[in-house]
Chains A and B, each alone.
Chain A
Amino acid sequence: MKTVKIILAALLILCAAVLVIAAESSKDKLPGLLERMDAQGAAAQDTKMQKAKDRVLDALAEGSREKVLRSLERYLDGWPDRLDTGGTVARELFVYRNRPSLTAAGLFLLLAGALLLGAVFDRTGKIRKAALPALLIGLLYAGVYILESVVGSGTMLITVLKKGAIYALVAVAMNLLNGFTGLFSLGQAGFMLIGAYTFAIFTIETQSRAQVYQYYDGGLVQFALPTLAALALAGAAAAFFAFLIGLPVLRLKSDYLAIATLGFAEIIRAVFQYDGLGPITNGSNLLRKYPTFDTVLFPFLVAGACVAFIALVIHSTYGRSFKAIRDDEVAAEAMGINLFRHKQLAFVISSFFAGVGGALLAMYQTTVQAAAFTSAMTYEILLIVVIGGMGSLTGSVMASFLFIAASEWWLRFLDNEQAIGSFQLPLMRSGFRMVVFSVIIMAVVLFYRRGIMGDKELSLKRIARRLSPRKGGGANG
């Protein structure tokens, strides 16, 4: 049995290696492939065909994969009889076209093989316990990647996934503070703003600065940081502000804390639009021309890593202390927990990730303006946290995807005038979507008073128990 498993794992890993190498090596093969397809040199006699071929090469030089695929499609469709698309050419074309999916599939197979090997050589059972969730997460990421290359990155589905992942991170960060530590703070938009601006200011390409900061002589900052470093810096800047604000504000309780943090967010928004800070913040003008992401994997990976870290913190000694403070401050203090230090820690961690989330949001929007970070944004996130369940990370994540999908996508049709036959449906006009959306949220809050997850987490064990009520938990969570 053991040898079979090892052989199977080795085979999986071998397949994975072949797939990944084949897919990745197809990257630069297209020019050669084009020549081989047109072995007779038919393009040289046909100007139209030559033009189509040139368009592919132009797109290739430009570096836009989407454009290359589109023009390649047109080229192949236009002259099928004159092009040789059989045999090795066909295979290579297939690999070239499906490179992302094949790489993803390869990586997934690699993960599966590695986990299988791990399970074989596992003595303590620890790896097996972690294997299933790891496999599912790997599957999720591979699935999202394949989905993107299948449906195209410009579609609504991918847009929702991108924004949903970002909001999930921000909501989880807010949940850490409001749901797990019991500090009712409404400063989220302010910290996101700091993150977004820090990221944008330090990553705008140096040659574009004169253009972006046209009213401020090109601005003060004249260098650009790498994206990941700037993301970390965005978090650090938000965390630093949180540390300073926390000194006076965290001595307040419940509603007073909410008012103070809300006020802080409004002040930040005003300060960042202040003309005197123009050389740094570009005043009330847009910031743009900073790096953005084009694959949905980027926000998924960054947000996933951040959420994972928050989950680790929550299940550590610190997380237990946070929950103790939420349950009973007096008792927590009597058990030796330094109230102020722990509250500040939760505040700083939460703001750090709000800052990172803000930076991701800036990348997603491709431009950023302080005026957009209103308290309405904070309420949106608060709504996600409440609907997901105060004190449930998985609840926040699920709720943010549902929230974004409903508000951006599923209810869009309500904003357009519609007719059944000649009957014009009443009410269906721009803005009606938000009415329906609000009604849905009210209904959700009425029926799930503590959010869809309460303070429980979604786990495989729980799902397994749901599915087979008599058997009890069979899988590991």
Chain B
Amino acid sequence: MAERVLELDRVTMQFGGVVAVDSLSMRVDRGEIVALIGPNGAGKTTAFNCITGVYTPTSGQVRYLGNLIISNRPQGRMKELYAGSDKAFPAETVVNTPDRITKMGIARTFQNIRLFKTQTVFENVLIATHLHKTSNLFTAAFRLNYREEQQMRRHALEMLEVVGLADLKDEKATSLPYGKQRRLEIARALATKPQLLLLDEPAAGMNPQETDDLGRFITGIKNQFGLTVFLIEHHMDLVMDISDRVYVIDFGKLIAHGVPEEVQDNPDVITAYLGVEEE
């Protein structure tokens, strides 16, 4: 059996009275491309945010490479408010901030592009190489970390070459066209040297041609860097093309999962996407 890279165990995220993600369990194995799909507002990005530490889930556990990285159960006011369907809460509480989770090897991109606006393309990627730095304030200020700095710059440039933006490296990040900004986000995520890459709607706003290219690109970097990819996507063509397995959620609940062909024909999925036909 393939090594399990990411495993969600009954993750529930509740905001006030709204259960955005309800008892979601899934796994991603090494070398796979797994897609998470669902209609708008189904809770896909919330699920991502629970994995990357932006939100602490109300209940449930997340394991990365077998280690428990996030675990929580309803606390304080949530004890009474709790409305999730899962009632067996984990015993431990483990909380990790996003930066620590990135250091463990999970990198992500954002649905609404979040680049460092005032900085150049190159600097955007360079910042992502900092997490492996060993310098302290004084060695950094007086450039005693010269070698390390050179290495970071080389690495950042390599990543830009991988996504084909090396010739635009001195442009301001926000001056790039939309599709290239998405690629820059991926380059930035790759620069953290991840093992698991989370992509949040990488094809949003792209035309079919660009989407096709993106599909090949994602498979390409997956093979080149030995990555495992977990993505949220709306473009069905892309999902069906590149993913090994697909999870479908609606209103925070898992409604189907399997290989793309299975999921495509699942009546629940069709209902969720197209609505119920009224007789």
Contacts and interface: CB of A to CB of B under 8 A. Distances in A.
A408 interface: no
Given A313-B141, A318-B137, A339 B114 contact: no
A306 to B, nearest CB: 12
21 contacts: A313-B140, A317-B145, A318-B140, A320-B126, A323-B118, A328-B114, A332-B127, A333-B54, A333-B102, A334-B102, A334-B108, A334-B110, A334-B114, A335-B102, A335-B127, A335-B128, A335-B131, A335-B192, A336-B103, A338-B97, A338-B100
Nearest to A316: B140
Nearest to B114: A331
Contacts of B118: 323, 326-327, 391, 455
A349 B149 CA distance: 22
A165 interface: no
Contact of B141 (A316, A330, A455): A316
B247 to A, nearest CB: 22
Contacts, number: 96
A304 B143 CA distance: 19
B99 interface: yes
Contact of A339 (B99, B107, B130, B133): B99
A337 B116 CA distance: 13
A309 interface: yes
Nearest to B145: A317
Contact of A328 (B54, B98, B116): B116
A288 B127 CA distance: 48
Nearest to A310: B141
Contacts of A332: 116, 127
Contacts of B123: 320
A182 to B, nearest CB: 10
Interface residues of B, number: 35
B114 A330 contact: yes
B266 interface: no
Contacts of A371: none
Given A336-B130, A336-B131, A317 B116 contact: no
Contact of B133 (A317, A334, A345): A317
A37 to B, nearest CB: 52
The secondary-structure label for the interface of chain A is helix
A359 to B, nearest CB: 21
Given A330-B54, A334-B52, A321 B130 contact: yes
B117 interface: yes
A331 B149 CA distance: 22
A312 interface: yes
Contact of B98 (A324, A334, A455): A334
Contact of A317 (B54, B98, B130, B142): B130
B156 to A, nearest CB: 11
Contact of A318 (B110, B141, B143): B141
Nearest to B148: A317
B119 A323 contact: yes
Interface string A374-418: 000000000000000001000000000000000000000000000
A324 B127 contact: yes
Interface string B80-106: 000000000000000001111011000
B137 A313 contact: yes
A327 B130 contact: no
Interface in B47-73: 52, 54
Contacts of A391: 118
Nearest to A341: B99
A317 B128 contact: no
B119 A317 contact: no
Given A324-B127, A334-B52, A336-B192, A317 B135 contact: yes
Given A331-B114, A336-B130, 7 more contacts: A317-B149, A323-B119, A327-B117, A333-B102, A334-B110, A336-B131, A339-B97
B141 A331 contact: no
Nearest to B53: A333
Contacts of B145: 317
Contacts of A313: 137, 140-141
A345 B138 CA distance: 12
Interface in A297-314: 309, 312-313
A190 to B, nearest CB: 23
B115 interface: yes
A212 to B, nearest CB: 37
Contact of B115 (A331, A338, A349): A331
A338 B103 CA distance: 10
Contacts of B10: none
Interface in A325-378: 326-328, 330-339, 345, 349
A334 B114 CA distance: 10
B130 A338 contact: no
Given A312-B142, A317-B135, A337-B127, A331 B103 contact: no
A334 B108 CA distance: 7
Contact of B99 (A312, A316, A327, A338): A338
Q: Which of B52, B137, B149 has the most CB of A within 10 A?
A: B137
Given A317-B149, A323-B118, A324-B119, A336 B141 contact: no
B188 interface: yes
